[in-house]
Amino acid sequence: MPVIGIDLGTSNTCVGVVLDGRPQVILDEKGRSTLPSVMALNRRGQFFVGHLAKAQMSINPTGTIHSAKRLLGQKYSGRDVQRLIPELPFEISQLPDDSPGIKLGDNVLTPTEVSAAVLKKVKVLAENALNEPITNAVISVPAHFDNFQRRETKHAAEIAGLEVSRLINEPTAAALAYGYGANTPGMIAVFDFGGGTFDISILEIGDGIYNVLATGGDTFLGGNDFNNAVAHWAAERFNNKYHFNPMNDIAAHQRLLDASEYVKILLSTQEKAQLTLQQVLPDIDPSWDLDETLTRSQLETLCAPLVERALTICQQTFDSANISIADINDIIMVGGMTRMPLVRRRVTEWFGRAPNTTINPDEAVGIGAAIQAMALDSIQDNMVLLLDVLPLTLSIEAAGGVCIPVIAKNTKIPHHVSRIFTTSRDNQNSVTISIYQGEGHHISENSRLSTFELTGIRQAPRMTPRIEVSFSIDVNGILSVTAIDLDSHQSQSIEIVDLTAKALDVLESEPVVQPE
């Protein structure tokens, strides 16, 4: 039974497999290699996932969920979710455990459940294509995903009926797709510009060993921002003409974003495109149409600052890793936005060399996940060894809210480390261990992963008990922390809070959606 590899993307999901030593993506019945990571509910109360869900998004913006990956493993009260709420057309509420709940009709779904529905869809797709049941998968995650986000990805797979053989970092997967079957040692950069996020990674490849040297990125920089830039440009013209801003109307806003994305994609292959939208606000004035010509060079002017932001992140990542651009042997382009000519041109200028164009930017990560799946599945000599690094520093809170680093950012994983801590008061019989993730020196700058209490510490003057705290990160990048009092042998480990998620009954065949 083959193990599949899945690129569970924010915008699109791709599934790959290695058959007879040949890595390939699994195409759907219409020959498409990716599936929109979109879920919707129709008027008959049926859930559906994929192309049709995306196609009806502009007429059903509040009943269509996209970008669920951006909410996965996040706290509702956290900065990222708060920043996302105004951007997303569907309603997000706070669940009792502070995870975000997504409203879909009368249902409130967790991002995990939505991701599970997408995974279930590609599982069935793979089963139909391969004519075999599929029970295991390697799933890729962004390199910057923290513990919670990784755990929820695994959890989503479980709900979908898939056991996760391994989580693999997206840039590592892309590098695997690049390095497979070729003898290409050296240092490469993976430039991944997707729908919602930008990531840059520097890897070293040699003798089947893939070593991530550094990663950087921005989780709020992606194709959506390009769509937004075009939509704002068009909205301003519309507003000048009719004195009404279509961005202030939920339905018009979503339709405008869709049309903007369409025009943006057209302008990757043509010099000029027409942004047309009929009856932008049918219930105000049905004669208000939008019809504007946008040229590639106008699009480039609108979007140049976004591309420059990505390059600034590249600069910072190279600087902080102390790597010179001249040492890079190849640049792998991943993600739909790297198809934009401006992006390719600026990457070429910035790196001083043309990027590699032999790898399909939509398929590289799914193919790489499939190669990893094959490697785990076989005990042959085509085994590839992966070394990944910790994306953010892990630390423990000490007196005064100071973060004491335990494992530094960019440490290779799997990794195990123990440190001895002590008490700050006489006869202190318990200690609270709070684990933080991030580069700040104070807890207010970092995000808290977990807190637990170690009780039963031997009565002793301050500074004398010896409490050993061990951090173990497994191959999937999942952390477990144990604290033990070396005198009383009392010990305690992090409790993993399980967010209960229910499996959704998703239609396997897509229903025809009735237009509103």
DSSP code of 506? B
> Contact, 12 vs 27, CB < 8 A?
no
Write down the catalytic residue from 146, 192, 199, 218.
192
Amino acid making up residue 176: L
Give the SS3 label for residue 356.
Answer: strand
- 192 catalytic? Reply is yes
If the CB atoms of residues 9 and 89 are measured against Mg ion, the closer one turns out to be 9
Is residue 70 involved in binding ligand ADP (CB under 6 A)?
no
Element spanning 281, H or E:
none
Residue nearest ligand ADP by beta-carbon distance: 223
In whole angstroms, give the CA distance from residue 136 to residue 45: 30
Residue the block writes with tokens 């059903």: 60
In whole angstroms, give the CA distance from residue 50 to residue 266: 21
Is residue 36 involved in binding ligand ADP (CB under 6 A)?
no
If the CB atoms of residues 141 and 513 are measured against ligand ADP, the closer one turns out to be 141
Cα of 166 vs its chain's centroid, Å: 16
State the minimum distance, in angstroms, from the CB of residue 344 to Mg ion: 17
Q: Is 291 left (phi over 0), alpha (psi -120 to 50) or beta?
A: beta
User: Among residues 12, 99, 254, 446, which is the contact residue for ligand ADP, using CB under 6 A?
Assistant: 12
In whole angstroms, give the CA distance from residue 169 to residue 388: 8
Is residue 194 involved in binding Mg ion (CB under 5 A)?
yes
Site stretch for ligand ADP (CB under 6 A), options 259-267, 295-303, 377-385, 419-427: 259-267
φ and ψ at 95, to 5 degrees? -85, 160
Binding mask 180-219 for ligand ADP (x = CB under 6 A): --------------xxx-----------------------
If the CB atoms of residues 9 and 101 are measured against Mg ion, the closer one turns out to be 9
Cα of 106 vs its chain's centroid, Å: 27
Give ∠ CA 390-395-399 in degrees, rounded to 5: 175
Binding mask 152-181 for ligand ADP (x = CB under 6 A): ------------------------------
Which of the choices Mg ion, ligand ADP, none does residue 391 contact, using the CB cut-off of 5 to 8 A by kind? none
State the minimum distance, in angstroms, from the CB of residue 340 to ligand ADP: 4
**305 token code pair:** 């600052």
Is residue 11 involved in binding ligand ADP (CB under 6 A)?
yes
User: Among residues 58, 165, 268, 395, which is the contact residue for ligand ADP, using CB under 6 A?
Assistant: 268
User: Among residues 5, 171, 335, 477, which is the contact residue for ligand ADP, using CB under 6 A?
Assistant: 335
Is residue 337 involved in binding ligand ADP (CB under 6 A)?
yes
- 264 catalytic? Reply is no
Instruction: Give the closest residue to 257 by CA, choosing from 290, 288, 298.
Output: 290
Q: What is 29-69 written as a DSSP string? A: TT--S-EE--EEE-TTS-EEESHHHHHTTTT-GGGEE--GG
**136 token code pair:** 């295991």
Is residue 142 involved in binding ligand ADP (CB under 6 A)?
no
Give ∠ CA 161-162-167 in degrees, rounded to 5: 150
Site stretch for ligand ADP (CB under 6 A), options 71-79, 336-344, 391-399, 416-424: 336-344
CA distances from 156 to 31, 148, 151, 432 (A): 26, 12, 9, 31
Is residue 261 involved in binding ligand ADP (CB under 6 A)?
yes
In whole angstroms, give the CA distance from residue 125 to residue 28: 7
- 170 catalytic? Reply is yes
Sheet holding 415-421, edge to edge: 415-421, 467-473, 479-485, 491-493
> Contact, 410 vs 389, CB < 8 A?
yes
Site for Mg ion in 7-36 (CB under 5 A): 9
User: Among residues 336, 355, 366, 368, which is the contact residue for ligand ADP, using CB under 6 A?
Assistant: 336
Is residue 100 involved in binding ligand ADP (CB under 6 A)?
no
Is residue 5 involved in binding ligand ADP (CB under 6 A)?
no
Write down the catalytic residue from 170, 218, 261, 510.
170
Instruction: Give the closest residue to 451 by CA, choosing from 498, 392, 396, 393.
Output: 396
Site stretch for ligand ADP (CB under 6 A), options 261-269, 273-281, 424-432, 471-479: 261-269
User: Among residues 39, 290, 294, 340, which is the contact residue for ligand ADP, using CB under 6 A?
Assistant: 340
If the CB atoms of residues 16 and 336 are measured against ligand ADP, the closer one turns out to be 336
Catalytic residue set: 7, 69, 170, 192
Q: List residues near ligand ADP by CB under 6 A.
A: 9-12, 194-196, 223, 261, 264-265, 268, 335-337, 339-340, 362
Q: List residues near Mg ion by CB under 5 A.
A: 9, 194
